[in-house]
Amino acid sequence: MATGRTHRPATRSRGIPEATVARLPLYLRALTALSERSVPTVSSEELAAAAGVNSAKLRKDFSYLGSYGTRGVGYDVEYLVYQISRELGLTQDWPVVIVGIGNLGAALANYGGFASRGFRVAALIDADPAMAGKPVAGIPVQHTDDLEKIIEDNGVSIGVIATPAGAAQQVCDRLVAAGVTSILNFAPTVLSVPDGVDVRKVDLSIELQILAFHEQRKAVEEGAGADGAHPAAAPRKESAEQGPDGDVPAVMPA
């Protein structure tokens, strides 16, 4: 994954652990797929496999929501879809603004996953006057000057920042001042926000660096003198439960 909250004060909202909340969307996706195939019920084992987690974890996660399963049978797919959707707040409409319509911002605007689950792109905002009025993904880009008005008029509480790093904090401040209380940050910066405002960040560069770390680790593990050596075509081992951690032998030659 490429996300992570900036910091977790361990404030377990209402009793649902943060770690569980982060997995609910995963379950929801798997359940939606089952629903589309008209599968009526599913066991924790099956669903866990589909979501790529441990079945015990899944059951414990669901137990925080309530007792929605039937012993000996499993979970009712439709019912669970509804319960999770409700818990995540997806039964209501969430207008979202995207600030910074460059390559990434445009890609996000075009991203289908937005509309699918109650999220609606209410507006696109960019600082470049030349962009103003231009339609991106069918939505005309508006100028940053109108940011506050746009937020208020549309009742936006979720903002997406896709600006260059230098502009991110300033945009963030304006969004927050205008009433936004949740921010998804794609700019490579640490955002400073008041209490009560949630920030989640998506950082490509960080993800790659983490991968590089493990990659380097693998390289020194086996045959220290390897060139760009490809272990290649390792015996395919199906397992829905692998982790990026790689289960490296962890022997370390010295």
Partner DNA sequence: ATGTCTTTGTGAACGCGTGCACAAAGATGG
Partner DNA sequence: CCATCTTTGTGCACGCGTTCACAAAGACAT
Binding partner of 68, given DNA, a second copy, none, CB within 5-8 angstroms per partner class: DNA
- Binders of a second copy among residues 137 to 166 (CB under 8 A) are 151-152, 155, 157-158
Question: What's the one-letter identity of residue 77?
Answer: V
Binding partner of 76, given DNA, a second copy, none, CB within 5-8 angstroms per partner class: none
Minimum CB separation of residue 162 from a second copy in Å reads 9
Buried b / exposed e along 86-103 (16+ C-beta atoms within 10 A): ebeebeeebbbbbbbbee
State which residue, 59 or 143, has the beta carbon closest to DNA.
59
Instruction: Identify the residue whose tokens are 């640490």.
Output: 190
Q: CA 209, 212, 216, 222: dihedral to nearest 10 degrees?
A: 150
- Binders of a second copy among residues 94 to 113 (CB under 8 A) are 94, 96, 102-104, 106-108, 110-111, 113
Minimum CB separation of residue 165 from a second copy in Å reads 9
* Cβ–Cβ under 8 Å, residues 20 and 28: no
- Binders of a second copy among residues 51 to 90 (CB under 8 A) are 51-54, 87-90
Question: What's the one-letter identity of residue 199?
Answer: V
Q: Rounded to the nearest 5 degrees, what angle is found at the Cα of 83, between the Cα atoms of 80 and 87?
A: 140
- Binders of a second copy among residues 190 to 219 (CB under 8 A) are 190, 192-218
CA distance 38 to 107: 32
Minimum CB separation of residue 74 from DNA in Å reads 4
